[in-house]
Amino acid sequence: MKSRKIYLDNNATTPCDPRVVDTMLPYFYEKSGNAASRNHPFGWEAEEGVDYAREQVANLIGVSEKEIIFTSGATESDNLALKGVFEMYKRKGNHIITLKTEHKAVLDSCDKIEKMGGEVTYLDVERDGRVDLKKLEAAITSSTVLVSIMWANNETGVIQPMKEIGEICEKHGVLFMSDATQAVGKIPVKPKEVGVHLMAFTAHKMYGPKGVGALFVNRKNPRVKVTAQMDGGGHERGMRSGTLNVPGIVGLGKACEIADQEMLKDAARLSKMRDRLESELCKIEETYINGNVDHRMPHVTNISFKHLEGEGLMMTFNQNIAVSSGSACTSASLEPSYVLIALGLGDDLAHSSIRFSLGRFTTDEEIDIAIDMLSKGVNHMRDLSPIWEMYKEGVDLDSVEWSEH
C-alpha cells in the first residue's frame, strides 16, 4: 500500500478550496470576456464578476471596494506599496522603517529603494519576534514617510502589536503599511481599525488560486496615493495596468467570502490540533518553540530539535510529510533562517528548526501520523549523531573548538 502524503506546509501555499474552483470555472470559457471591454455582454459579465469579487474582498477586511487594487499576488502588492509610496512622497521624505524579519518581498523592495536614494532602517525584533515599540518610535525622523511591518510572520506565525504600531504612526503623521499575507483569511484582519493605510495579501494563502492578490490603499483620512510600477492601460484606477485575471479575481473573491464565514471555526479547530502536535513533540528532549506563543497565528508552530540538522531530519520523512525547514538552500551554502537568527537563535537552533503550518484540510489522523514520524525521525537522527552523543556525555558543546579539517 502506498503511504499517504501529509501536507503541513500551508504557509507556503494552500490547496484551492473546491468551492473556489467551482466558482472560477465558468470564467475560463462561458464568461471569457475582458473586464475592460465595455461595449459588449462578454466584457460586462467579466466586469460584473470582478466587481462582485472586489466587494467580497473588501467585506472580509472591512474596507470600501474602491480601496482594493488587484495584483498578481502579495509580492507585487508589496512592491507596489513600498516603491509606489517612496516615489509618490519623496518630496516629503525618503525614510522607511521596517523589520529584519520581514518577507523577502519587503526586504528586497527596500534594498531597491536604497539604491534609488532612499534611506531604510531595519529594526531588530525582540527574542519573541515582536517589535519593541519604543525602538520603533525612536527610529522615526522628520523624513520618515512609511513604516512597513508584517501582520504575522511567515516562519514563526508571530503577530505584531498592530494597534499600538498604528497609534505611533498616527502620532507622527507617518503612513503604515503591512504585509498581511499570512494573516488575511485566517484571523480577523481589519486595517482601518488599527491604522494600517496600505496592506498586501494574496489568494493562494487562503485556499484561493495562485497568481492573484490585492493591495488595500486607504482613500480617506489620509488619502493615500501610490505611483504605478507597471505602465499600460491605466487599469485599477491607474495604479496597476494589465488585463485583469478575471478567473483568479473571482476565485480570490470566493476565497474571501468563505474565510469570512469559516475562519473563526477553522482557527479554533486548528489551534487545538497545533497545540496537540506541539505538546507531543515537546516531550522530545532538547526541543524548543520559536517565537511568542501568546501572540501568534492559530495554525503555525516553529520548533527547533537541538543538535540536529532540520534538512537532514526532513529527509527521514519528506516523502510523506510536507513541512518547511528553517534552512534555506542557496546555491553555495545551507543558510540558517534569517528570521530565526534575528530572534537571537544560535546557528545550532536555527539550523534545527521545522515549521509546521496546518490548514483547512488537515485531519486529526494526519497529526497523529506526523507526531509518530517526527518522533521516530528525531530519535533516529540523534542515534547517528556524534554531537548528540557528546551532549549526552555532558560535554559543553559551546566550549568545543571545532577543527576546519
* Domain ranges for the chain: 6-11+263-391, 18-259
Side-chain-side CA neighbours of residue 170 (13 Å): 14
Q: HEC string of 352-372?
A: CEEEEECCCCCCHHHHHHHHH
Residues labelled catalytic: 329
Whole-number pLDDT of residue 1: 39
* In contact, 278 and 303? CB cutoff 8 Å: yes
CATH number corresponding to 18-259 = 3.40.640.10
How would you write the pLDDT of the chain (405 residues) with one tens digit per residue?
Answer: 356 899 999 999 999 999 999 999 999 999 999 999 999 999 999 999 999 999 999 999 999 999 999 999 999 999 999 999 999 999 999 999 999 999 999 999 999 999 999 999 999 999 999 999 999 999 999 999 999 999 999 999 999 999 999 999 999 999 999 999 999 999 999 999 999 999 999 999 999 999 999 999 999 999 999 999 999 988 999 899 999 999 999 999 999 999 999 999 999 999 999 999 999 999 999 999 999 999 999 999 999 998 887 888 888 876 799 999 865 544 345 678 999 999 999 888 888 999 999 999 999 999 999 999 999 999 988 888 878 888 888 877 666 665 555
Going 335 to 98 to 112 to 71, the CA torsion angle's sign is positive
Predicted pLDDT of residue 2: 53
Q: Exposed/middle/buried for 250, CB within 10 Å: 0-12, 13-18, 19+?
A: buried
What letter represents residue 377's amino acid?
G
Residue 363: Cβ within 10 Å count: 11
Question: How far apart are the C-alpha atoms of 379 and 356, rounded to whole Å?
Answer: 19
* Other CB atoms within 10 Å distance of the CB of residue 394: 6
Query: Residue 313 has what pLDDT?
Result: 85
Nearest partner of 20 among 262, 323, 358, 299, judged by Cα: 262
- Return the percent helix, strand and coil in the chain, to nearest 5: 40, 15, 40
Look at residue 390 in the predicted model and tell me its pLDDT.
83
For the chain, first and last CA: distance in Å? 45
Q: State the pLDDT at residue 334.
A: 66
Residue 39, SS3? coil
Dig out the grid coordinates for 288 from the structure: 524548543
Structure confidence at residue 69 (pLDDT): 98
- What would the grid cell of residue 263 be? 475562519
- The answer, as to whether pTM is greater than 0.85, is yes
Three state DSSP letters for the chain: CCCCCEECECCCCCCCCHHHHHHHHHHHCCCCCCCCCCCCHHHHHHHHHHHHHHHHHHHHHCCCHHHEEEECCHHHHHHHHHHHHHHHHCCCCCEEEEECCCCHHHHHHHHHHHHCCCEEEEECCCCCCCCCHHHHHHHCCCCEEEEECCCECCCCCEECCHHHHHHHHHHCCCEEEEECCCCECCECCCHHHHCCCEEEEECCCCCCCCCCEEEEECCCCCCCCCCCCCCCCCCHHHCCCCCCCHHHHHHHHHHHHHHHHHHHHHHHHHHHHHHHHHHHHCCCCCEEECCCCCCECCCEEEEEECCCCHHHHHHCCCCCEECEECEEECCCCEEECHHHHHCCCCHHHHHCEEEEECCCCCCHHHHHHHHHHHHHHHHHHHHCCHHHHHHHCCCCHHHCCCCCC
Beta-bridged to residue 216, according to DSSP, are 68, 199
CA distance 82 to 45: 33
**CATH of span 6-11+263-391:** 3.90.1150.10
| DSSP three-state, residue 102 | coil
Alpha carbons within 13 A on the beta-carbon side of 53:
30
